[in-house]
Structure 1
Amino acid sequence: MIESCVKNIELIGQRFDPYYYNPKFEVIEHKLSKLKYSTIGKECIKIFSGITPKSGGDDYTNQFEGIPFIRSGDFIEDNQLDFNGLNYIKTDVHNKLMKGSQLKQFDVLIAIVGATIGKVGVYNYNLEANINQAICAVRFKDHINPFFVQLFLLTNLGQTIIDRLKRPVARANINLEEIASIPIPFLTIETQKAIVDFYNYAIKTKQAKEQEAKTLLDGIDDYLLKELGIELSENTGNEKYFEVNVSELVGERLDPFYHRIEFTNLFEKIRKKSSIKLRDYIMSINYGASVSNDYVEEGIPFLRIKDLLPNEIQNDDIVFLPYEMKDQLKTSFVSENDFLITRSGTIGIAAIVNNEFDSYAFGSFMIRFSTKHINREFLSYYINSTIGQIYFGRNKIGAIQGNITIPTIKDLPIPDISKEKQDEIAEHIQSIKAKAKQLQKEAEEILEKIKMEVERIIEGKSR
């Protein structure tokens, strides 16, 4: 157990929680003692955060009529925003209710609540936008380069300062006054720019590694289709009309979407090459548990739809259910080598359960199944391929929030290829993913080295 001894005089005007005085933060004072520094509060024009209008309420609108509403999960360190993935608020809300949190280009964004706390970016667009309460925005004076501030806050020293400020409660947070107290090196605007230029030049090596990894991963789908001898139709589904024989409707759905030409062409190609339905490989299958989200600190680990990625289960935000709910969960537990597949929301995303997640419970928006006589990795890649996604997109039911059922999963056509060919395809894809993962690791290592070098340069320039 770590204890902190703090003199009473040190608590005047300061925090009272032991975490703030943890000895691991002594490095902050040590490093700052060697620097000339000011604080964010002294060097800014404005510090502010926003609010969050009621989810699904009348304050929201579409992308073409509204103002971008940025949340802490929307911005990233490279300062790029996916405007297609943002929520949008009405102009009237932006100009009245949320007037005080309107962004301007070059505002520094700092995540101050929850899991993303400590993330730092710069709003780099000359477009109107607004933020929620989980983001603090800082507008600096002209002699402060916002990109330099971002770089400093992303260094080990900067992140340690932020880490010290956050309160270690169920939902970590930092207030605006504490953001204002954050020290920043006092350098000339020319020196700040030189450091930013150095970082931008060095980061190109990292980006090249990431692009190489992306190219490899993007090529997996083409490789799989080529090995299966399946060529996707160039038809885009933009026909004004198309004809379907009455015989093709027998026992099938009657809606036009299901019978789009590119769908029928693709699955006709698979049928002609000989295929086996997934049901012939399935040993057991069942839906997940529909339970209330009464999460606890310690209990039964529970997988949600957000934990599932193509060919992967992520473990960075696992929640727990009370042990007393075990009977209620019944058969909604996974075993190693089971499959999980999403059945609602982003449907048809599948992954194999590895030993890390053995005996975890899973929710009702997923379906579990176990298989026999098929290479599991091959099947996972196939389900997540363009073919699998087209199949599940075609067969989803429900107008508002589409979903798939167990019969739909069982009817997925699998090209009838030998087990040896399945093994060959799976091994080749695994080698591609391993190479891409290595490139991504190298990119992250480059980033950490750059941050360390930036911190070293700052220390040398600010003495």
Structure 2
Amino acid sequence: MSEVFLRDFSEVYGGSFQPNYYMDERLEIIEKLKKQYKNNLLKLKYIVKFLNQKSIAKNVETYIGMANIESNTGLYLESSEDKGQGECNIFNKGEVLFGKLRPYLNKVYYAEFSGGCSSEFIVLDSLNKEKISNKFLSIFLLLDCVVNQTKYLMTGNTLPRMQISDVENLLIPIPPKQIQQQIIDIMDNAYQAKKDKEQQAKEILDSIDEYLLGELGIVMPMQTNNTLDSRIFTQKISALSGSRFDPSYHQKYYQDLEKALHCSPYPLVNLASTIEDFKKGIEVGSNEYSQSKEIPFIRVSDISSNGIDFENVQKFISASLYENLKTFQPQENELLYSKDGTIGICLEADTSRDYIISGGILRLKIAQEVNRYFLQFLLASSMMNILANRQSIGAVIKHLNIDKFLNLKIPLPPLEIQNQIAKKLLDSQYQALALQTKAKEVLNAAKIDIENIILAPESRGGVIYEFVVNFDIMENILPISEMVKFQTDLHRLWGGAKYPVVRLGEKVLINNILEDTKKYESINYIDLSSINKENGNIENIKSINSDFPSRARQKVHKGDLLVSSLSGSMKAIAIVDSKKENLIASTGFFIIRHTNDLLKNFLMFILRTNLFQELLKRESSGAIMASINQSELLNLKIPLPPLEIQQQIADEITHRRDKAKNLQQEAKEILKSAKKEIEQMILGE
């Protein structure tokens, strides 16, 4: 994205003098809306009331803070967030809550109940519900075409937020009521599908704890109701001597839990005996936070048992500071464990990108005789979570002393049993993650469909988009020689035909199942360097017998299409043609296994063209290791000729590649022969 640009004074006169206000991305969306809706496009202030009823937060029955609304989905998340003591905004069921703080977080909620909310929300209510419904409004405000405007309207560095005047002037399209209802139905169906898949994932994840404790022979004691009688108990002075005096530490439930732990058939050991080494993260201080989003600074709020939520990281540091703090970067085969705030989150360290962890997170290097996945699931179990929290101190923010953590008792089966348990649990976790990924994709696809309906209403009537290349624009993207070659090839191969343009996500499925490579003695590994960037062939499959790379997590088969996600290796796109066993690809690839009316070899050649390489790079993000995420790839538009034409194009390109390869080989042979002849002349042989 260009940070230096020019605007005519006539464009700025009478408006804002903030540079971001005139960014191309924002202006292009506004122009689209004006072109499509003309007289059916109004500023938000003309179609809604900005409600301002106040109350005291502690007095409302149900309170919604910013953390209670999921980014990009508009879903309500229950939490025990402190209401605070200050004022809050009152809202009623059916009204719209729009988050003005950090608008790029995209927090919009269609109220399903009445209550109070953070003053960082603006409460909106349609002036004429026959003309525009609140539910449609909430859906529109969630779309990327809105976020790509609002993210340029923030003011303030520490807590950037939108000004009320900018919110009032947001342009809102008003499609016919039947189209509004169609859009509402699409989102309702997507929400239900997402909910169903997440419920399936939850059931699988919930079963992990039960299975693990069952295999360890531990039966969790029943917790008593939190009544006054249950909280009154006596304790011998001998039990308190040298121990803590806070009553909760000595509850009978903890004694019952320790007895259950001792019932395990496996020996109890100190956690410290399973850990070869540990290191704390670092607190860099708020003055070191960077606004340029270079290197993620990962805090406890950014992690879960599923991994690190890089997409919603709030704090970043500069690349220069990262260079000085590289020793705090998690390494391969480590576990991360949260010891402050939310205690007991345990996950495998992600080594696919650069980041630094905060002081509330521990890095654990596990002893070789212990299966680290077994220990990961055990430390994340409900039993160990309860025992760890029991040892914590702090009324507002809990802290777990490292010595107390290392002295926790855990059951430790033989390594063979650990491996069996870990394999079963990893399989369950991968199933759950796949379901969660599908749930997100369902909602993202629905939002994209809705955005297409709103920004391209003519597509509803069955009008087919034409694939048109503007060669004037291409001259600014490609070198002249490449542009002329592309134009010549395009016209010759496609004969100037017009084909529909489709979103890639409508025609392919990306495999999101990760493989447990612990079960393999050896693997045949394909990483980005395995692919010849010039011809798209897989030429260097690495045979590895131990210490598999942490990114070796995707099982692939002959015929799978591998697409690089990293900007620096975008041409690492190839089809697997090997029949070797235990083929494992890097997580730096998207794996496309199933397609609909789309030949994989045609898609491979399309994505390898200079035009589409530029489009892929444009969608990449990240300062140090730029990459394209799955939703951006699936949102890419591609031309879709009939299968017969696809095959003709693929055959023609394959023929050219083979011909070029033969000519290159002949050239090598000619040079080799000439060198040999010269050598004979010089040496007189």
Q: Secondary structure at the match of 1:73?
A: helix
Q: State the SS of the aligned residue for 1:354.
A: coil
Once the two structures are superposed, the pairs formed by residues 244-259 of structure 1 within 5 Å of their partners are 253=244, 255-259=246-250
Report the equivalent of 1:98. none
Match of 1:137 in 2: 123
Change (3 A) 1:184 1:66: closer
Q: TM-score, normalised by structure 2?
A: 0.56
Establish whether residue 441 from structure 1 lines up as the match of residue 437 from structure 2.
Answer: yes
The answer for the alignment partner of 1:26 in structure 2 is 28
1:397–1:79: structure 2 CA closer, same or farther, 3 Å change rule?
A: closer
Q: What is the TM-score with the length of structure 1 in the denominator?
A: 0.80
| Superposition deviation, residue 379 in structure 1 | 1.1
Q: Which residue of 2 aligns with 1:97?
A: none
Cα distance between partner residues in 2 of 1:159 and 1:415: 50
In the alignment, the residues of structure 2 paired with residue 5 and residue 325 of structure 1 have an alpha-carbon distance, to the nearest angstrom, of: 33
1:349 aligns with 2:345: yes
Which runs of no fewer than 5 residues in structure 1 stay unpaired? Answer: 52-58, 95-100
Report if the CA contact (8 A) 1:311-1:381 is conserved.
Answer: no
Q: Secondary structure at the match of 2:66?
A: coil
Q: What is residue 67 of structure 2 aligned with on the other side?
A: 73
2:275 corresponds to = 282
Structure 1 residues 49 and 331: CA distance shift in structure 2, 3 A:
farther
Which of 269, 292, 304 is equivalent to 2:299?
Answer: 304
2:326 touches 2:356 (CA, 8 Å); kept in 1? no
Deviation at 1:391, TM superposition (A): 0.7
Contact 1:113 1:173 in 2 (8 A): yes
Partners of 2:281 and 2:361 within 8 A in 1: yes
* Secondary structure in 2 matching 1:139: strand
Contact 2:68 2:76 in 1 (8 A): no
Deviation at 1:302, TM superposition (A): 4.5
Residue 300 of structure 1: how far off its partner (Å): 8.1
Using the alignment, how far apart are the partners of 1:80 and 1:126 within structure 2? 13
Q: Give 1:287 shift.
A: 4.8
Looking at structure 1, the residues matched to 331 and 47 of structure 2 have their Cα atoms a distance apart, in angstroms, of 54
d(CA) in 2 for partners of 1:151, 1:219: 35
The correspondence of residues 190-205 of structure 1 with structure 2, limited to 5 A, is: 191-205=179-193
SS in 1 for 2:317: strand
Aligned to 1:370, which of 362, 365, 368? 365
Contact 1:60 1:87 in 2 (8 A): no
Query: Of 190, 197, 216, which residue of structure 2 is paired with 1:228?
Result: 216
Q: 1:121 to 1:180 in 2, by over 3 A?
A: same
Please tell me whether the aligned partners of residues 311 and 380 of structure 1 are also in contact (alpha carbons under 8 angstroms).
no
Question: Against the structure 1 CA distance between its residues 248 and 311, is the aligned structure 2 distance closer, same or farther, given a 3 Å change threshold?
Answer: farther
Let me know the Cα RMSD of the aligned residues.
3.8
Determine if the alignment matches structure 1 residue 174 to structure 2 residue 168: no
Query: Which moves more between the two structures, 211-220 or 390-399?
Result: 390-399
Please tell me whether residue 122 in structure 1 is matched to residue 110 in structure 2.
yes
1:147 Cα deviation from its structure 2 partner:
0.7
Task: Note the C-alpha offset of 1:385.
Answer: 0.6
**What are the ranges of 5 or more consecutive residues in structure 2 without an aligned counterpart?**
462-685
Report what 1:271 is aligned to. Answer: 262
Do the aligned partners of 2:297 and 2:355 also contact (CA within 8 Å) in 1?
no
Q: Does 1:12 align with 2:16?
A: no
Distance, in Å, in 1 between the alignment partners of 2:165 and 2:393 is 50
AA aligned to 1:381 is: F
1:263 maps to amino acid: Y
8 Å contact from structure 2 (residues 50, 123) kept in 1: yes
Candidates 271, 288, 299, aligned match of 1:295: 288
Distance across 2 between alignment mates of 1:165 and 1:282: 49
Aligned match of 2:446: 450
Shift of 1:400: 5.6
The Cα of 1:314 is off from its aligned counterpart by 3.6
CA distance in 2, matches of 1:280, 1:34: 67
Q: 1:235 to 1:69 in 2, by over 3 A?
A: closer
Partners of 1:357 and 1:70 lie apart in 2 by 34
Matched, 1:428 2:415: no
| Contact 1:340/1:369, CA 8 A, preserved across alignment | yes
| Range with bigger deviation, 220-229 or 147-156 | 147-156
User: Which residues of 2 match residues 206-245 of structure 1 at below 5 A?
Assistant: 206-236=194-224, 239=230
Q: Does 1:460 align with 2:457?
A: yes
In 2, Cα distance between the equivalents of 1:209 and 1:368? Answer: 32
Work out the CA distance in 2 between the residues paired with 1:186 and 1:342. 47
Which residue of 2 is the match for residue 183 of structure 1? 171
2:210 maps to a residue whose letter is D
For the pair 1:338 / 2:340, whether they are aligned, the reply is: no
